Amino acid sequence: HDVRRGRTCAKIALIAKAPLLPLYRKAGFEVQGLSEIVHGRDPWFECALDATAVPYEVIDSFSDAAFGGNPAAVVLGEGSEAWMKSVAAEFNLSETAFLRFIEGNRFGLRWLTPTAEVDLCGHATLAAAHFLFGREAYDELVFETRSGDLVATKKGDLIELAFPRDDPMEVVDLKIKGQLLKALSVEAIESVHRSGQRDLLVTLSTEAFRTMNVDLAKISEIERIRGVIPCCAGDVRDEGQADFSSRFFGPAVGIDEDPVTGSAHCALAPLFMKRCGGKSRLVGYQASARGGEVVCDVA
């Protein structure tokens, strides 16, 4: 499949001799019977492949190990709203990315959770870039999204994403702080900030972060938010070197806990940059069961 054109044909047909039939079956071809073509002593067989299937891949972002980081499905092509929602629900991952070729190195990109479309998603954008870099000789990609143009650049074995900085604003609402104390089952909160993505960044002590007991039902009662992000300074792993640690809970958008949330780091990095003496390069560790690291350069 040419990523610039999506589906390019409906059917692929070929003829092959018997020794090659297992190989073609493994590639998805169906053996339809003997061919009328006669060439040589051995018979030929007709094989066909349905090429109308939409190309897709599931990719683990923010991890250098198998089954780590955050998995996202990437689908090359868009359909009706109902079809895209059904596909995202079928994958049942935190995000499914839908790509649409525009021109040159520009692609349309949309992100859907199993229940809603979102304005920004880091790990699914990273997965989409990996998907395209592996199929065409691009050095840079531009994604047209609901959050504007996002640029992905190939940097050796790594991919750099240019995402918008999201300086969070401090929250002084005592009602919200009370709801968060109950939702996280902690005795004290150092600070609460709200990001432009409607996330609540809840800064805790390292001990409170490690021992919190999250109640998703109580998080769901907090109005007008995308998610709750408990966070703390330092690395909660014994031997880790991250500057801050976090987790993400978003039942309002169909995500109980997100393994690694790239978009959340658009707000987490500026918040902890101030706490790290203006340090511009920070490493965030997301302490989910799968776990993952996000390297952030704050400009």
Residues designated catalytic? 95
As given in the structure block, the two tokens for residue 213 are 């007991």
**CA terminus-to-terminus distance, the chain:** 38
As given in the structure block, the two tokens for residue 121 are 């998603």
User: Where does residue 196 fall: left (phi above 0), alpha (psi -120 to 50 degrees), or beta otherwise?
Assistant: alpha
Distances (CA, A) of 70 to 28, 67, 179, 264: 28, 8, 28, 13
In the three-class reduction of DSSP (H, G, I as helix; E, B as strand; rest coil), residue 19 is classed as helix
**C-alpha torsion 275→270→128→101, nearest 10:** -170
In the three-class reduction of DSSP (H, G, I as helix; E, B as strand; rest coil), residue 207 is classed as helix
In the three-class reduction of DSSP (H, G, I as helix; E, B as strand; rest coil), residue 57 is classed as strand
| Exposure b/e, 202-218, CB count within 10 A at least 16 = b | bbbeeebbeebebeeeb
Judging by DSSP bridges, how do beta strands 11-17 and 255-258 pair with one another?
A: unpaired
